[in-house]
Amino acid sequence: MLGKKLVTAQKRGETRALCLGLGMVACSMMMYFFIGITIVPFYTKSVWTTETVCKVLKANIKDKVSCPNGEGSEDEEIFPYPCLQVWVNLTASGQEVMLYQTEDTLERNPKCSYVPDKLENSKEVKARIETIASNFKKYQTFPCYYDPGGTQTNVILSRLYPSKGLLFAFLWPTLMFTGGCLIIVLVKISQYVSVLSAWQ
């Protein structure tokens, strides 16, 4: 009687472990799919892939411009802000080009190097842009990214999804997938050993 209870408990434990392993594998596959349709397209779409050194030539703050807070925005979501334009000397080619914060900055407003998030306090936006301009004037040389193919003549300060960030995004689903597969393999080995012992 006790032996039957132990076998039943063992089978229940194996079933739960197997479900856990299959659940981990399923969740990791969903994470792979989510990363594949969100982060990977932005990474492959970016043409600013080569890192070089940029030297600031001028950083000017022009009159306020209006920028929508996203595509399809309504009029009330359009907010004015000072337009910061940073021009740099590209070390790789020696050209004078305009610097943008990220790829998204160029799409939102190609006239400005920095596009702030929508804030209710306009003084805070102005102070932040002035601080950024002073930092560019203070630190004249810094790493930046340019398009080696020449499709884009401008440069960006940082990529939205760098290679390290993409690898880090794939790290967690890979660990989960490996752990799930390991659990399934251990359960199958345990079942095989149990059947072999019973047969002997």
DSSP 39-60: HHHHHHH----EEEEEEEEEEE
Task: Please tell me whether residues 56 and 98 are part of one structural domain.
Answer: yes
Task: Please tell me whether residues 195 and 141 are part of one structural domain.
Answer: no
Task: Please tell me whether residues 63 and 2 are part of one structural domain.
Answer: no
Residue 16 sits at the vertex; the CA angle it makes with 12 and 17, to the nearest 5 degrees, is 115
How many domains would you assign to the chain?
2
Alpha-carbon distance values, 168 to 3, 86, 191 (Å): 48, 31, 35
Contact 99, 112 (CB under 8 A): no
Is it the case that residue 30 has pLDDT exceeding 90?
yes
Is it the case that residue 23 has pLDDT exceeding 60?
yes
Task: Please tell me whether residues 19 and 104 are part of one structural domain.
Answer: no
Which pLDDT band, with edges at 50, 70 and 90, does 2 fall under? very low
Give the pLDDT mean for 49-76: 70
pLDDT in tens, 127-153: 888 899 888 888 889 999 988 887 888
Task: Please tell me whether residues 101 and 148 are part of one structural domain.
Answer: yes
Contact 190, 14 (CB under 8 A): yes
The tokens for 25 are 């594998």
Task: Please tell me whether residues 84 and 118 are part of one structural domain.
Answer: yes
Task: Please tell me whether residues 76 and 142 are part of one structural domain.
Answer: yes
Is it the case that residue 96 has pLDDT exceeding 50?
yes
Task: Please tell me whether residues 11 and 103 are part of one structural domain.
Answer: no
Residue 75 or residue 107, greater confidence? 107
- Chain centroid offset of residue 147 CA: 19
Task: Please tell me whether residues 98 and 178 are part of one structural domain.
Answer: no
pLDDT at site 156: 92
Q: Give the domain extent around 33.
A: 1-46+164-199
- Structure pTM? 0.68
Contact 106, 156 (CB under 8 A): yes
Only one residue has tokens 């600013």, namely 48
User: For helices 163-199 and 2-45, what crossing angle results, to 10°?
Assistant: 160
pLDDT at site 69: 46
SS3 197: helix
Q: How far apart are CA 10 and CA 187, in angstroms?
A: 11
pLDDT at site 75: 42
Is it the case that residue 77 has pLDDT exceeding 60?
no
SS3 83: strand
Mean pLDDT of the chain: 81
Give the pLDDT mean for 81-91: 87
Q: What percent of the chain has pLDDT over 70?
A: 84
Is it the case that residue 43 has pLDDT exceeding 90?
no
Which pLDDT band, with edges at 50, 70 and 90, does 182 fall under? very high
Q: Which of 36-45, 81-90, 157-166 has the highest mean pLDDT?
A: 81-90
Contact 47, 151 (CB under 8 A): yes
Task: Please tell me whether residues 100 and 133 are part of one structural domain.
Answer: yes
Q: How far apart are CA 62 and CA 114, in angstroms?
A: 12
